[in-house]
Amino acid sequence: MGAPADRPWPGTEAEAVAEQERIRRAADLASPGPAPGEVDRIAGVDVAYDPGSDLTVAAAVVLDAATLEVVEEAVHTGRSRFPYVPGLLAFRELPGVLAALEKLSAPPGLVVCDGYGYAHPRRAGLAVHLGVLTGLPCFGVAKSPFAFSHTEPGPRRGDSSPLLDGRRDPPEVVGRALRTRSGVKPVFVSAGHGIGLEHACAHTLRLTPRHRLPETTRGADGLSRRVLAEIARDRREPRGAARG
DNA sequence: GCGACAG
DNA sequence: ATCTTGTCGC
């Protein structure tokens, strides 16, 4: 898994920060984007990491937007080349994700990321970055509030509260804490490239008929983990004549 | 300077 | 992200 052919991949944190400034300037942060019903295929992407090595498996799972059934899957195995640094997650995850997306027979109409988009120190989180690199509408659904603040949303599914960046003088709304299941901890939704917060939240609710997390991220998470476990097993119990 | 901080 | 068992509930 390499870097995207047309953009330099940073080797240092300073370069990564500079690249994020460029990504933000290139991003479409204003379009309302596709509403539910206006896209046929929605993809979820995620990456699994091997604790004992630098092996990674990225997965892209495409769902039928109406039935939420899996219609296509793709994976890409590679090696992590960038450490996890809060605020720079995209540089660790995107190379593999891009490679997996390219293996799909056709690009999806929308991509859901496991992490943030606009809700980011430089407004260039994973979903914004992936959107700029692919040109696809893309938003983020994260499991924890990162460095942002929020008040507890109402207790029922669909209730929400603003996610705020308190590091700004007038605290800015960067996303939404959204309850996808009654009585269960909310998820944190933020806009990305080519889709606004309103539609991102609407899609998130459509994608969570029965679980806290969207079916897209559940699918991608499960697939990347299964493939990684498979590779790890084959290493311990080699099959066939292949070796080394 | 230190801590917190998506995955 | 990953290491980790059983348990409670829909």
Q: Is the CB of A212 under 7 A from strand B?
A: no
d(C-alpha A111, C-alpha A134), whole Å: 10
Smallest CA–C1' separation from A119: which nucleotide? Answer: B6
Smallest CA–C1' separation from A50: which nucleotide? Answer: C2
User: Which one-letter amino acid corresponds to residue A173?
Assistant: V
Q: What is the pLDDT along chain A (244 residues), one digit of tens a residue?
A: 445 656 778 999 999 999 999 999 999 999 999 999 999 999 999 999 999 899 999 999 999 999 999 999 999 999 999 999 999 999 999 999 999 999 999 999 999 999 999 999 999 999 999 999 999 999 999 999 999 999 999 999 999 999 999 988 889 999 999 999 999 999 999 999 999 999 999 999 999 999 999 999 999 999 999 999 999 888 877 765 454 3
pLDDT of residue A5: 56
Q: Is the CB of A93 under 7 A from strand C?
A: no
Does domain A31-236 bear CATH number 3.30.2170.10? yes
User: Which one-letter amino acid corresponds to residue A156?
Assistant: R
Sorted by where each begins, the domain ranges of chain A are 31-236
Q: Is the CB of A46 under 7 A from strand B?
A: yes
In strand B, which positions have an atom below 7 A from any protein CB? 4-7
Q: Is the CB of A175 under 7 A from strand B?
A: no
pLDDT of residue A244: 39
Contacts within 8 Å (CB) and 24+ apart, A217-220: A217/A44, A217/A46, A217/A112, A217/A114, A217/A141, A218/A44, A219/A44, A219/A59, A219/A61, A219/A63, A219/A70, A219/A73, A220/A43, A220/A44, A220/A45, A220/A46, A220/A59, A220/A60, A220/A61, A220/A114
Q: Report the interhelical angle of A126-134 vs A13-26 (nearest 10°).
A: 60
Q: Report the interhelical angle of A126-134 vs A89-102 (nearest 10°).
A: 40
Is there a binding annotation on residue A46? yes
In strand C, which positions have an atom below 7 A from any protein CB? 1-3
**What are the C-alpha distances in Å from A103 to residues A64, A82, A230?**
18, 22, 20
